[in-house]
């Protein structure tokens, strides 16, 4: 398990402009697609907020993907 800190941002949209997936954009300009974004409670409420996330990270082609086990709004101090 790894910890990352960043902003929850939209990662993909449908044809009507609705957000369909989310990612965490970190301060070092990395973006981690959230694999289980539909299963994480209150994740959509954290859109455009700074978060700290604990999860397993894997790389698939050019993308980094995180399967979130735990996520909190704010800084590491709140984790």
Mean of all residue pLDDT scores within the chain: 91
Residue showing tokens 């965490």: 24
Q: How far is the CA of 76 from the CAs of 23, 31, 53, 57, in angstroms?
A: 18, 18, 9, 18
Predicted local confidence at residue 20, as pLDDT: 92
Tokens of 68: 């979130």
DSSP 3-state assignment of 77?
helix
Model confidence at 69: pLDDT above 80: yes
Model confidence at 21: pLDDT above 90: yes
**What structural domains and CATH numbers belong to the chain?**
2-78 (2.40.50)
Predicted local confidence at residue 35, as pLDDT: 95
Model confidence at 77: pLDDT above 60: yes
| Per-residue pLDDT tens over the stretch 33-48 | 999 988 888 898 999 9
| Torsion region of 5: left, alpha or beta (phi above 0 gives left; psi -120 to 50 gives alpha) | beta
Tokens of 37: 């974004």
Spatial distance between the Cα atoms of 5 and 71, rounded to a whole number of angstroms = 10
């Amino acid at each position: 398990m790894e910890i990352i800190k960043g902003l929850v941002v939209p990662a993909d949209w449908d044809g009507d402009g609705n957000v369909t997936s989310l990612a965490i954009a970190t301060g070092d300009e990395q973006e981690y697609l959230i694999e289980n974004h539909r299963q994480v409670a209150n994740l959509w409420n954290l859109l455009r907020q700074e978060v700290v996330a604990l999860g397993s990270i894997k790389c698939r082609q050019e993308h980094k993907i995180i399967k979130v086990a735990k996520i909190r709004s704010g800084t590491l101090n709140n984790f």
